[in-house]
Amino acid sequence: MRSNLDVMSSAALRSTTQRTTTPRAGGLRRSLGERLHKVASAAVTPLEPSDVLDLFNPLRRGAELRARIVAVHAETDDAATIELKPGKDWAGHIPGQYIRIGIDVDGRRQWRAYSLTHGPRPDRHISITVKAVPGGVVSQFLVHQAKPGTLVHLEQAAGEFVLDHTHHKLLFVTAGSGITPVIGMLRNLFPVTDSGVLGLDKLDQRSPSLSRGLDIVVVHLAPSEPQTIFRRNLTELHDSGAVTVIPRYDDVHGVFDVATLAELVPDLAERTTYACGPHGLLDALEAHHAERGLELYTEQFRVGAVEAGEGGTLSIAGQTLELDGATTILDAAEEAGVLMPSGCRMGICMGCILPLREGAVRDLRTGDVTVAVPGETPVAGLPVQTCISAAAGACTIEHKERVR
């Protein structure tokens, strides 16, 4: 649907592009444009014309970046793929990267990161696959309630978990929803056609630059076969000879032990490993690979916390809160009704930084304590990531945001 304002602006645009570019014509264009803007502003006061354009065409160029949900496909009982049409200013992505999407829940905007599960597509749509975590605010909504037509806030793709094209022998180790960035890479490398996956032999003829002599093994861990996200795709990729998939199901093979990796992948030492899964698995892989001098790239969905400290009293937004040493400042403040800035909630996006004016906070990933002392540390305070910091004694965080 086109609004009058849409029509007016495109009419104005047509008139400008068809005129000759003398200085006088430029002046006329400007005054015509200014008059149209004034008329539009008067018609929509107190809204800005851009607000009205957003109402009718929220995905237009120049609007705040958003995406419209165009389809929701169930993957398993508790996981679904959400297909999105991004706004016109979407800049594209490299397979393996993630996006942050924002949805408003109970009047609060919640931002979460999700890996993209396709390469760039001809229809310009993007997709994410979400596993609903118990009690999860955003994942439960996306998996069980999101409907086609819903608009979500969107940020441009980010992340460095992407393939280095100098590597030819690859090992992917993925667990649960950790398959998502990897399936994005695999679907991009091996297009899925109506007649099945294009294996390396066919790909060589069609697009030698894509296959470039790749040799890929995927060790995928899941609780059970039915709970495996992208099970069909993984089987097709394996059956076509594109990749070798080695599934490991907890209910059949027992809980995976990284010490057995070399038995499953005898030429492990020749491969570069890309891994995505829970932090316990990634920590174990890091130690395993470091000991053997093997190359490893990882992507983590959730922060792994070290032992909690003592906790303390947090002063923020006019509130005084008693915190234990394991609760993040972000969670505690939100729980108390403070509107907090946030993003990934795991220490990567810097979307939650606030100044620590006084006292001490503890980084839950490393155990490091940051101390602000008035008169000694900068007047503006020390920047701390509230999503991974807990109180370590009394502390004051500067934040003027209202309380709900």
Ligand X SMILES: Cc1cc2nc3c(=O)[nH]c(=O)nc-3n(C[C@H](O)[C@H](O)[C@H](O)COP(=O)(O)OP(=O)(O)OC[C@H]3O[C@@H](n4cnc5c(N)ncnc54)[C@H](O)[C@@H]3O)c2cc1C
For ligand X, the binding residues (CB under 6 A) are 98, 112-115, 128-131, 133, 135-140, 159, 177, 180, 301-302, 344-346, 348
Taking the C-alpha atoms of residue 150 and residue 70, their distance in angstroms, rounded to an integer, is: 8
Cα–Cα–Cα angle for 396, 397, 400, rounded to 5 degrees: 120
What burial letters (b/e) apply to 311-350, b meaning 16+ CB within 10 Å? bbebbbbeeebebebebbbbbbbbebebbbbbbbbbbbbe
Residue 98 interacts, among ligand X, ligand FES, none and using kind-specific CB cut-offs from 5 to 8 Å, with ligand X
Return the number of the residue (28 or 137) whose C-beta is nearest ligand X: 137
- What is the greatest pairwise CA distance in the chain? 79
Structure token pair of residue 176: 């649960």
Residue 347 interacts, among ligand X, ligand FES, none and using kind-specific CB cut-offs from 5 to 8 Å, with ligand FES
Residue 114 interacts, among ligand X, ligand FES, none and using kind-specific CB cut-offs from 5 to 8 Å, with ligand X
Return the number of the residue (332 or 387) whose C-beta is nearest ligand FES: 387
Binding span for ligand FES by CB under 6 A among 6-14, 74-82, 234-242, 341-349: 341-349
CB of 128 vs ligand FES, minimal distance in Å: 17
Residue 138 interacts, among ligand FES, ligand X, none and using kind-specific CB cut-offs from 5 to 8 Å, with ligand X
CB of 163 vs ligand FES, minimal distance in Å: 25
CA dist 386 to 262, 308, 317, 391, Å?
40, 15, 14, 10
Report DSSP state, residue 92. Answer: -
Which of 177, 240, 327, 342 binds ligand FES (CB under 6 A)? It is 342
How many residues bind ligand FES, per CB under 6 A?
12
| Residue 198: strand, helix, or coil | coil
Return the number of the residue (95 or 343) whose C-beta is nearest ligand FES: 343
Cis peptide bond prior to 46, omega within 30° of 0 = yes
Taking the C-alpha atoms of residue 130 and residue 81, their distance in angstroms, rounded to an integer, is: 6
**Count of C-beta atoms within a 10 Å radius of residue 302:** 11
Binding span for ligand FES by CB under 6 A among 17-25, 54-62, 285-293, 347-355: 347-355
Q: Give the nearest residue (CB) to ligand X.
A: 136
Residues that bind ligand FES (CB under 6 A): 342-345, 347-352, 385, 387
